[in-house]
């Protein structure tokens, strides 16, 4: 038996031959146009990915806020103040210890804010679409006295 040995072919040789047959000037213009189209398509894909991530992030953070606020209890007689509390949500939805970034100056109010976060954890896992191991959250708790 005899085998036919084919020469090794460069995977781009057909493209190169086509461009050579079109003439180098026209071929370069064609390549430039193709590169511009590809670049525009890549930009569109990146923009769409950003939108998907932005929507997923917005929805996820919104769920966290709603859950925390559902556990938040405003102490009676609270004065008009606000507290900012931050914490990190990890990939599985567990959190680290909440930290008061801006205190109300009233211990019971700060404590109510931290307790709301601790009671609402764990959260649902971070969506895969976000492609991140953790997420830093800052929540502002506004205390407004109830009118009597």
Q: What is the pLDDT of residue 71?
A: 96
pLDDT average, residue stretch 12-27 = 54
pLDDT 10s digits, 34-79: 666 666 666 666 666 676 678 888 999 999 999 999 999 877 666 7
Cα 93 from Cα 91, distance rounded (Å): 6
Order of strands, edge to edge, in the sheet holding 99-102?
A: 99-102, 81-90, 134-143
Q: What is the pLDDT of residue 6?
A: 46
> Considering the chain, what is the average pLDDT of its residues?
79
**β partners of residue 102:** 84
Could you report how far apart the first and last alpha carbons of the chain are, in Å?
Answer: 103
pLDDT average, residue stretch 93-112 = 95
Residues contacting residue 56 through CB under 8 Å, at least 6 positions apart: 127, 129, 130
Q: What is the pLDDT of residue 5?
A: 47
93, 123 contact by CB (below 8 A): yes
**Within a 10 A sphere around the Cβ of 96, how many other Cβ atoms?**
13
- pTM of the full structure: 0.66
């Amino acid at each position: 038996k005899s085998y036919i040995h084919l020469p090794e072919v460069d995977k781009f040789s057909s493209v190169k031959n086509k461009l050579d047959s079109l003439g180098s000037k026209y071929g370069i213009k064609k390549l430039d146009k193709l590169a511009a189209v590809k670049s525009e398509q890549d930009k569109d894909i990146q923009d769409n990915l950003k939108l998907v991530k932005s929507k997923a992030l917005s929805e996820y953070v919104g769920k966290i806020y709603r859950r925390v606020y559902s556990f938040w209890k405003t102490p009676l007689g609270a004065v008009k103040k606000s507290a900012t509390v931050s914490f990190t949500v990890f990939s599985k939805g567990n959190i680290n210890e909440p930290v008061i970034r801006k205190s109300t100056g009233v211990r019971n109010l700060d404590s109510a804010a931290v307790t709301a976060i601790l009671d609402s954890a764990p959260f649902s896992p971070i969506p895969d679409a976000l492609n991140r191991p953790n997420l830093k959250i800052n929540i502002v708790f506004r205390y407004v006295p109830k009118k009597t």
